[in-house]
């Protein structure tokens, strides 16, 4: 059966201007870091993408190494794009990145012009696209001059392979330098993608101020702290959770008794707000006007449906915010 998007898809989504640019992004964007690789069930990935688009999510975030295996998330996304969304490309914002290890040899990672241009060419081929809307440098390179990396982003825009460029995982000082170089080149930095959640607050130590002052958007990833800010760990560590598996970024050792106490207290406060913990965690990030959009990752449509409900209650009282700070400092 041919997919037809919901005619009401734009009615309930909030769209926010990205920094000082002309581009608006949905308050929630869909990240394809997990659950869209060749190891995953394609039809499940398809259902998630369809529900996202039907719900007004127009922004889909990828990277060259997303999978597993690396590259397969882009391949699967390209396949579904061609089969289901062929007539809707102009209603979508598609982003990808390069910076982490992608192929063997000296040109397969980091921030050289050689790597970035080659990687985007490969990404476009995998997705079957002429251009992406946003291309990011995925992480700072300690050895390549920042001027070369930013010149590569500028070149890519001038080649017509990306409409906008961004940076990811840059600390405040390096972000400020990168933003200035891009501005001087005439290709302004559109957006920064940092790791940010109630449990990961480093961006508040200067980065958010830099982005706000420079008119650069911010799109946090891992807003639910790899699932810790959900109902999943309220009764301990489930067997099918990321923390229970030996691979991945979340380890069993991260779920300490102290962390569990915080999760339970936050969960109680969320209930008082008539939200799930995940919904409150997303709303908490969106309370800051410098945050353009929040990247969510889901493995099933029910998780996406739950996350979308955060938009029903984005306001916090000062008392609620103080309670959250007290819990997190506890």
88, 90, 92, 80: which is closest to 128 by C-alpha? Answer: 80
Q: How confident is the model at residue 254 (pLDDT cuts 50, 70, 90)?
A: confident
Interaxial angle between packed helices 146-158 and 113-127, expressed in degrees from 0 to 180 and rounded to the nearest 10: 40
2, 163, 12: which is closest to 95 by C-alpha? Answer: 163
Q: Check whether 198 has a pLDDT greater than 90.
A: yes
| Rounded mean pLDDT, 81-105 | 98
Q: How confident is the model at residue 19 (pLDDT cuts 50, 70, 90)?
A: very high
CA 80 to CA 129: how far, in whole Å? 12
Q: Check whether 240 has a pLDDT greater than 80.
A: no
Q: Check whether 250 has a pLDDT greater than 70.
A: no
Q: Check whether 248 has a pLDDT greater than 90.
A: no
261-272: per-residue pLDDT in tens?
999 999 999 999
* DSSP codes of every residue in 245-281: SSSSS--GGGS-HHHHHHHHHHHHHHHHTTS-HHHHH
| Rounded mean pLDDT, 106-118 | 98
Cβ atoms of 132 and 120 within 8 Å: the answer is yes
23-35: per-residue pLDDT in tens?
999 999 999 999 9
Question: What is the DSSP secondary structure assignment for residue 130, as one 8-state letter?
Answer: S
Residue 201 lies in a domain: yes
Q: Check whether 68 has a pLDDT greater than 90.
A: yes
Q: How confident is the model at residue 242 (pLDDT cuts 50, 70, 90)?
A: low
- Length of the chain as a residue count: 330
Question: What is the DSSP secondary structure assignment for residue 138, as one 8-state letter?
Answer: -
Range of the domain at 164: 15-226+285-303
Give me the number of domains the chain comprises: 1
Place of tokens 């990808």: 96
Q: Check whether 246 has a pLDDT greater than 60.
A: no
Cβ atoms of 126 and 92 within 8 Å: the answer is no
Residue 269 lies in a domain: no
Q: Check whether 38 has a pLDDT greater than 60.
A: yes
pLDDT at position 218: 99
CA 1 to CA 285: how far, in whole Å? 38
Residue 240 lies in a domain: no
pLDDT at position 126: 98
- Cβ count within 10 A of residue 202: 12
- CATH number of the domain at 167, please: 3.20.20.100
- 69 upstream amide cis, omega within 30 of 0: yes
| Rounded mean pLDDT, 65-83 | 98
Residue 23 lies in a domain: yes
CA R_g for the chain = 19
CA 312 to CA 279: how far, in whole Å? 9
Residue 126 parent element (H or E): helix 113-127
Q: Which of 76-85, 87-96, 232-241, 307-316 has the lowest mean pLDDT?
A: 232-241
173, 161, 236: which is closest to 207 by C-alpha? Answer: 173
Helix (H, G, I), strand (E, B) or coil at 296: strand
Cβ atoms of 48 and 307 within 8 Å: the answer is no
| Rounded mean pLDDT, 247-254 | 64
Q: Which of 4-8, 44-48, 142-146, 252-256 has the lowest mean pLDDT?
A: 252-256
Helix (H, G, I), strand (E, B) or coil at 6: coil
285-300: per-residue pLDDT in tens?
999 999 999 999 999 9
Mean pLDDT of the chain: 95
CA 110 to CA 141: how far, in whole Å? 5
289-330: per-residue pLDDT in tens?
999 999 999 999 999 999 999 999 999 999 999 999 999 998
Q: Check whether 92 has a pLDDT greater than 90.
A: yes
């Amino acid at each position: 059966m041919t997919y037809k998007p919901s005619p009401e898809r734009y009615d309930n989504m909030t769209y926010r201007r990205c920094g000082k640019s002309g581009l608006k992004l949905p308050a929630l964007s869909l990240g394809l870091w997990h659950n869209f690789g060749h190891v995953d069930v394609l039809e499940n990935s398809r259902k998630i993408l369809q529900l996202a688009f039907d719900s007004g999510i127009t922004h889909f975030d990828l990277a060259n190494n997303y999978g597993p295996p690396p590259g397969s998330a882009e391949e699967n996304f390209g396949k579904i794009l061609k089969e289901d969304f062929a007539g809707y490309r102009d209603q979508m914002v598609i982003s990808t990145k390069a910076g982490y290890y992608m192929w063997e040899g000296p040109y397969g990672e980091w921030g050289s012009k050689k790597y970035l241009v080659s990687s985007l060419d490969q990404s476009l081929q995998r997705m079957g696209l002429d251009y992406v809307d946003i291309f990011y440098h995925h992480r700072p390179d300690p050895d390549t001059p920042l001027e070369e990396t930013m010149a590569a982003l500028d070149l890519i825009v001038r080649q017509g392979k990306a409409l906008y460029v961004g940076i990811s995982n840059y600390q405040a000082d390096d972000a400020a330098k990168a933003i200035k170089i891009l501005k001087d080149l005439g290709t302004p930095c559109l957006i920064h993608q940092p790791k940010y959640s109630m449990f990961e607050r480093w961006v508040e130590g200067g980065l958010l101020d830099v982005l706000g002052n420079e008119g650069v958007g911010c799109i946090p990833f891992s807003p639910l702290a790899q699932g810790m800010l959900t109902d999943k760990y309220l009764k301990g560590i489930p067997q099918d959770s990321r923390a229970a598996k030996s691979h991945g970024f979340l380890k069993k050792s991260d779920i300490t008794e102290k962390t569990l106490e915080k999760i339970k207290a936050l969960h109680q406060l969320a209930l008082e707000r008539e939200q799930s913990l995940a919904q409150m965690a997303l709303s908490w990030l969106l309370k800051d006007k410098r945050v353009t959009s929040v990247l969510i990752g889901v493995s099933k449509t029910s998780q996406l449906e739950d996350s979308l409900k955060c938009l029903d209650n984005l306001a916090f009282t000062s008392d609620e915010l103080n309670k959250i700070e007290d819990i997190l400092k506890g």
